[in-house]
Amino acid sequence: MSVETGLPGLLARPLAGAEPQPRPAGRWAGRARTAASGLKGFILPALLLAAWEGASRAGFFAPHLMPAPSAVLRTVVELWQSGELIGHITVTLERVLFGFVTGTLAATVLGAVTGYSRLWRELLDPLLQALRNIPSIAWVPLFILWLGIFEASKVTLIAVGVFFPVYLNLMSGIQGVDRKLVEVGRAYRLTGWHLIRRVLLPATLPAYVVGLRSGLGLGWMFVVAAEYMGASQGLGYLLVDGQMTGRPQQIIAAIILFALFGKATDMLLAAVGRRLVAWQDVARPAEAA
């Protein structure tokens, strides 16, 4: 059998009837499509804001209960001009950052240990799964008793919220690694750390990134509960202050700022995650249709 009729020859020749693949678009064209796709996400919020403003001006909503978006915007501008808003935003971002890093580090260590070792999974996972079902607000009095009402208790509460999604996704990702990949790695004489680095880590990374994004989202939810714990600064404090002083426009402004900064940080983490798993050859929705 000649080389051309053997397996290498078959792999070298294109399949009959196969169309040549189009060249990938230029870098700038790809970025333009990504930007256009991202702008589509602003269409529905813009329409909702326009409808909300129109309904408020028409008198469908009571101003003292549901102020118009223009009134909310004026409140944000006033807080910004006074210099108060930047302080609240900075404090909340710092709390979320420290809580996210702390919770992620703990979840990464325990998720890797329980996912890789059956013994440690049987020892630790039942307890952690039980703790996962405790509502966030239930931790507040205990953390205040242990850590006081200052930053340590707030960061710890946020870290608890971040911990469980990251831990669960990492442990499940390690357990879900295809056995054939491990067997191939062992066939190439990979053991110990080399097997983890070359096989388990890349196979687990997509699930880990999803866990990080879920943990970050819960971190933003838990920071509200954390800033109810005697805080004098932060977006959560603005919520409480707006409630105590009867200013719904301030409450809504704080809620919108939570949504904006939560979305911005999630987009940043998603962009980093896409770079980490750029080696994946996955089907896009248009290709799968």
Cα(11)–Cα(8) distance, rounded to whole angstroms?
5
In whole angstroms, what is the distance from residue 115 CA to residue 109 CA?
A: 10
Q: Which of 233, 268, 89, 236 shows the shortest CA–CA distance to 158?
A: 236
Calculate the average pLDDT of the chain. 84
Angle (nearest 5°) at CA 279 between 207 and 22? 130
DSSP 16: T
Asked if pLDDT for residue 33 goes beyond 80, the answer is no
Please determine, for residue 21, whether its predicted confidence score (pLDDT) is greater than 90: no
pLDDT of 285: 53
Residue 115, burial from CB neighbour count under 10 angstroms (0-12, 13-18, 19+): buried
Structure confidence at residue 36 (pLDDT): 67
Round to whole Å and give the CA distance between 286 and 289: 5
State residue 10's pLDDT score: 35
Q: What is the mean pLDDT of residues 114-129?
A: 92
Q: Are 215 and 100 in contact (CB under 8 A)?
A: yes
Confidence (pLDDT) at 177: 82
pLDDT at 11: 39
| Residue 163 and residue 131 in contact, taking contact as beta carbons nearer than 8 Å | no
Q: How many CB atoms lie within 10 A of CB 79?
A: 20
d(CA 67, CA 55): 10
Quote the CA–CA distance of 126 and 132 in Å, as a whole number: 10
Q: What per-residue confidence (pLDDT) applies to 283?
A: 60
The pLDDT assigned to 63 comes to 85
- Compute the distance between CA of residue 89 and CA of residue 208 in angstroms, rounded to an integer: 28
Q: Which domains does the chain have, with CATH numbers?
A: 67-275 (1.10.3720.10)
Q: What is the per-residue burial (b if ≥16 Cβ within 10 Å, else e) of 226-260?
A: bbbbebebbbbbbbbebeeeebbbbbbbbbbbbee
Measured between its terminal Cα atoms, the distance across the chain in Å is 41
Query: 92: Cβ–Cβ under 8 A, 6 or more apart, which residues?
Result: 223, 227, 234, 235, 236, 261
pLDDT tier, 4 (very low <50, low <70, confident <90, very high otherwise): very low
What is residue 288's predicted lDDT score, i.e. its pLDDT?
A: 47
pLDDT band at residue 126 using 50, 70 and 90 as cut-offs: very high
Which is more confident, 229 or 89? 89
Say yes or no to pLDDT of 94 above 90.
Answer: yes
Residue 1 DSSP class? -
